Structure 1
Amino acid sequence: MAFLSVLLLGVAFVVGSLPLGHWLLARLGVNTRTHSAYNLGVENVLRRVGPGPALTSAALDFAKGFVAVLMASSLHSPELCVLAALAAYLGHLNPPRFLYGDMPPRGRGNLVLLGVLAGLSVAGGLSLWLTVLPVVVYATAVGFWGYVSTATVAGLLTFAGLVALSPLGIPAKLGALGLLVAATWRFKENLGRILDRTEPRFGEDVPMAGKRPDQVVTAFMIHPMTLENFWQSSRFAWMKPLVERGVISEASVRQMAQNLRPMKVGELHGIKTVEGKEIRCYLLSSPLLPDVFRDQPELATRRAIEGARLAHELGAEVFGLGAFWSVVGNKGVDVQAAVPEITVTNGGAYTSGTIKAAIPGILEHFQQTGRDLKQATAGIVGANGVVAFGIARTIAPQVGKIIMVGRDMERLNRSANTLRRAAKDTEIVTTTDYSTLKEADLIFSATSDPNPVIFPQHVKPGAWLFDEGRPADVDESVREVPGARIIPGGVVRPPGGMTSNIDLQFGEGAVPACLAETLIIAATGEHDRKSLGPQTLTENINFFVEQAEELGFTVVD
């Protein structure tokens, strides 16, 4: 008897794991990753694949749960039937990899759950109210809250509570609890989105690439710059007082962050070009802190690839890499190679374009204060990088002296030789010593350092500082230097009235230039203009500057 029970549970798991709906939709040419109810909601699946295939797939999932319980009922044990229901559900959630390959669909199994409840009410020997009341609670919760995930958890919580109060044995009680735990774990991302206010409600239209001619959908990868930024997401905010009281260590939070896969944490709404095209942008995050990008580049690249896949599944057509994500995987090259289905960009072209657009105004205003550019000294911080070197190349013919500050003297000297050929009358020096900035009248900084690198001891009174670094290269204490002026770089205001549930820390209604490049690519459809790798084409820089102006993007200065 025991052997037969174990065998039936094994069969129930196998039945639950059969990818019947997946096979059906795959034969029809439907990508079950991007058309999964996990991403879209059942009503959107109906719109995308049509009622026939969607309902047939749903019926097959229902049948899996029903048949699994029906087979277990042959031993006339209600406890075994509940355990078979759990086995079928676990099989659906965690099917053997060979059935799907490396990318199984991530369905939530609601129809399987409905099938097992129907089986338990018909053949499982359970009282009808034990199985019908959870369905009533589910339907009521969907109608009241509009969230399928909370409704499912509420229905299974009701089922587990009723079974716990029933005369059924311990195996049935554990089986019902197992269903609740398994569903809650599967819905953890959806529940997190509800906390972050980014989960669509039942019946809400979900943006998808190509769905509407007047709308494009993008995604952008962000990460916390500090532990304080980590608490912005409501799903993590509850941990902040526990860390402050020492109940949870900061080290454990950092370790947890490294283990989290990319998730949807926010959205940008209200962006609309002057021609009326709406641009929607999902904000994704794998909450790695800046030191992880330096110490574990392989992990960062893996998370960026996972983020690109999630962006594609959510219906985005362009995926932008922000802050330190922009340098992982050979500055996005490896990410694009791993996920060719979506356009990936590191935003370097428009970032350079915003600088190109801002520098003439900065130099003009500098001269208007009565100072002679030809006698001025300019410091270039991060001159080993593409962006900072581009600044140096722009201003070299206009100033008397340039101090190039970087970490690699060999590369600095090669860059300096290039500049000397283009600006023969300008004195150009290279150094790794930040104290030499003390003689600079103008300082342009564009590093990828996670911490400030310019402090009051590096700045002389009256100096102007153009800070392109993200996070900022210039420490806030520099504002105390008499006459020092700090000008943030690479900040753009998209057209329309942009709103967001996440503070991107660029000011209200403003985004970094790398994010703006993501939006512009989607709005124009010029996917070949994406920025990947260390090289940035001048023609692409000019393209983004011109298109940004036509679409209504403005550089914040």
Structure 2
Amino acid sequence: MVFLSALLLLVAFLVGTLPAGQTLLSRAGVNVRMTNAHNLGVENVLHLVGPRLALLSALLDAAKGFVAVLMASSLGRPEVTVLAALAAYLGHLNPPRALYGQRPPRGRGNLLLLGVLSALAVTGALPLWAAALPVVVYAGVAGYWGFVSAATLAGLLAFALAVALLPLGPAAKLGALALLVAATWRFKENLGRLLDGTEPRLGDPVPLAGRRPDEVVAAFMIHPMTLENFWSAQRFAWLRPLVERGIISEKGVRQLAESMRPMKVGELHGIRTLDGKRIRCYLLSSPLLPDVFRDQPELATRRAIEGARLAQELGAEVFGLGAFWSVVGNKGVDVQAAVPEITVTNGGAYTSGTIKAAIPGILEHFAAQGRDLKHATAGVVGANGVVAFGIARTIAPQVGRLIMVGRDVERLERSAATLRRAAKDTEIITTTSYEPLKDADLIFSATSDPNPVIFPQHVKTGAWIFDEGRPADVHDSVLTMPGVRVIPGGVVRPPGGMTSNIDLQFGEGQVPACLAETLIIAATGEHWRKSLGPQTLSENINFFVEQAQKLGFEVVD
């Protein structure tokens, strides 16, 4: 009897793994990766294929649960029947890769659970009220609150309580409880989105690329710069008092962050271009802190690739890499190669474009203060990088002396030799030290350093600093120096009055230029303009500057 019970449970698991409904949809030309739990799959299927095919797909999934439980009921043991329900559900949630490949389709299992409950009632394994109670609770919570994940968990909690009250053996009671635990784990991301306020409700329009001609969908990858940023997400806020009281170590939190796959943490609403196109942007995050990008580049690249796949599953057509994500995987090249179904950009072109647009105004204002540019000294920090070198190339002919600060002296000298040929009257020096900046009247900084690099000892009274670094290259203490002006760079205000549930740290209604580039690519449909790798084409820089003006994006100065 034990062997037969085990065999029936194995069969129930395998029945649960069968991608019946998803196979039907795939043959009908529906990408099941675009109709998953992130997008309220049942509703999307209904919109994409109509009620007839959607109903048939639903019935196939429900039939899996019904058949699995029906077979197990042949033993006449309610405990085995309830365990078969658990086995079928686990099979549906976790189909073996050995059978279905590296990325097997994974559903939420609500329809399978409906089939399971129907079979438990039909076979008499449970009283009718015990099988019907979870359905009633589910319908009530879903109808009142609108969240499918919360309704499912509430229904399974009611089921576990009902089984606990019945005169059944401990195996059945543990099986019902395990169903609740398995569903809670399956819906952990949905619960996180509930806390963050980003979980869609039943009936909410869920955008997919190409569904509406007047709306485009993009996604952008962010990460916390500090532990303070980590706490700002509501799903992680509960950890803060535990760390402050020493119950959980900061090291433990960092390890937890490194183990987390990308998740949806926010959304940008209200962006509408001057030509009437709406842009919706999902904010995704794998909460890696800045030092991880330096110390574990392979992990960061893997998480970026996972983020691109999540963006594609969410229905986005463009995926932007923000902050330190922009430098992983050969500055996005490896990410794009791993996920060719979605356009990936590191945002470098429009970032350079915002600087190009801002520099003339900065120099004009500087000169308007009675300062002679031809006798001024300018410093460029991070000059080994593409963005900072572009700044150096722009200002070199306009100042008397240029200080190029970087980490690689040989590369700096090669860059300086190019500038000396173009700006013969300008004295150009290269250095790896920040001390020479003390002579600079103007400082332009664009590094990818996770910590500030410019401190009061590097700045003279009255200097102007254009800080393009993200996070900021200039330490807060510099702001207290007499006459020193710090101008943040690369900040853009999208058109239409943008709102967000998460603080991006760029000011209300404002985004970094790399995010703006992601939005512009989505709005224009010119995906070949994406920024990948270390090189940035001048024609693409000009394109984003021109299109930003046409669409209504404004550079904040």
TM-score bracket, shorter-length normalisation: over 0.9
The offset of 1:183, in angstroms, is: 0.6
* Per-residue deviation, 1:38: 4.2
Taking the aligned partners of 1:27 and 1:488, their CA distance within structure 2 comes to: 52
Is structure 2 residue 170 aligned with structure 1 residue 177? no
Contact (CA 8 Å) 2:491, 2:556: kept in 1 or not?
yes
CA distance in structure 2 between the partners assigned to 1:183 and 1:309 by the alignment: 23
Question: Quick one: distance in 1 between partners of 2:522 and 2:38?
Answer: 24
Structure 1 residues without counterparts, runs of 5 or longer: none
Q: Please give the alpha-carbon distance, in whole angstroms, between the structure 2 residues aligned to 1:240 and 1:9.
A: 42
Q: Which amino acid aligns with 2:415?
A: S
Q: Whole-Å Cα distance in 2 between the matches of residues 384 and 222 of structure 1?
A: 24
Distance 2:188 2:527 in 1: 34
The letter for the 1-side match of 2:4 is: L
The separation in 2 between residues aligned to 1:48 and 1:106, in whole angstroms, is 19
Q: Residue type of the partner of 1:140? A: G
Name the counterpart of 1:544.
544
CA distance in 1, matches of 2:525, 2:14: 45
- Deviation at residue 246 of structure 1 after TM alignment: 1.4
* Residue in structure 2 matched with residue 530 of structure 1 by the alignment: 530
Q: Deviations over 1:382-429 (max 9, x none)?
A: 000000000000000000000000110011111100110110110000
- Give the letter for the 1:120 counterpart: L
> What residue number does 2:145 align with?
145
Q: How far apart, CA to CA, are the structure 1 residues paired with 2:479 and 2:349? A: 30
Instruction: Give the number of aligned pairs.
Output: 557
Please give the residue correspondences for 1:397-416 in structure 2 after superposition, counting only pairs within 5 Å: 397-416=397-416
The match for 1:18 is 18
User: Bigger CA drift: 51-60 or 505-514?
Assistant: 51-60
Distance, in Å, in 1 between the alignment partners of 2:100 and 2:54 is: 19
Look up the equivalent residue of 2:363 and give its one-letter code.
Answer: L
**Corresponding residue for 1:386?**
386
Residue in structure 2 matched with residue 196 of structure 1 by the alignment = 196
1:235-246 counterparts in 2 under 5 A?
A: 235-246=235-246
Check conservation: 2:33, 2:313, Cα contact below 8 A.
yes
Contact 2:19 2:105 survives alignment (8 Å): no
Local SS of the residue matching 1:225: coil
Q: Distance in 1 between matches of 2:93 and 2:147?
A: 20
Q: Does 1:447 align with 2:469?
A: no
Three-state SS of the structure 2 residue aligned to 1:497 is: coil
SS at match of 2:319: strand
Distance, in Å, in 1 between the alignment partners of 2:181 and 2:134 is 15
Letter in 1 for 2:485: R
Describe the SS at the equivalent of 2:205.
Answer: coil
Cα 1:40/1:137, change in 2 over 3 Å: closer
User: 2:148 and 2:227 mapped to 1: Cα distance?
Assistant: 32
TM-aligned CA deviation for residue 241 of structure 1: 1.4
CA contact (8 A) 2:96 2:104 kept: no
**1: CA distance, partners of 2:417 / 2:243:** 51
What does residue range 299-448 of structure 1 map to in structure 2 within 5 Å? Answer: 299-448=299-448
Cα distance between partner residues in 1 of 2:38 and 2:77: 34
1:97 Cα deviation from its structure 2 partner: 1.3
Rounded Cα–Cα distance in structure 1 between residues aligned with 2:227 and 2:147: 30
Q: Deviations over 1:4-47 (max 9, x none)?
A: 11111111111111111122122222211112244234222210
Give how far 1:128 is off. 1.1
Matched AA of 1:263 = M
**Which 4+ runs in 1 deviate beyond 3 A?**
none
Offset of 1:378 from its aligned partner? 0.4
CA distance in 1, matches of 2:400, 2:407: 23
Residue 426 of structure 2 aligns with an amino acid whose one-letter code is: T
Q: Secondary structure at the match of 1:311?
A: helix
1:505-553 Cα shifts (integer Å, max 9, x gaps): 0001000000000000011111110000000000000000000001000
Equivalent residue, structure 2, for 1:257? 257
Equivalents in 2 of 1:196, 1:277: separation in Å? 27
RMSD: 0.9
- Scaled by the length of structure 1, the TM-score of the pair is 0.99
Amino acid at match of 1:20: A
Contact 1:78 / 1:126 at 8 angstroms: preserved in 2? yes
1:131 is paired with a residue of what secondary structure?
helix
Which stretches in structure 2 are left out of the alignment for 5+ residues?
A: none
Query: Residue 497 of structure 2 aligns to a residue in which SS?
Result: strand
Conservation of the 8 A alpha-carbon contact between 1:81 and 1:124: no
Question: Percent same amino acid among aligned pairs?
Answer: 80
SS of residue matched to 2:379: strand
Deviation of 1:124 (Å): 4.4
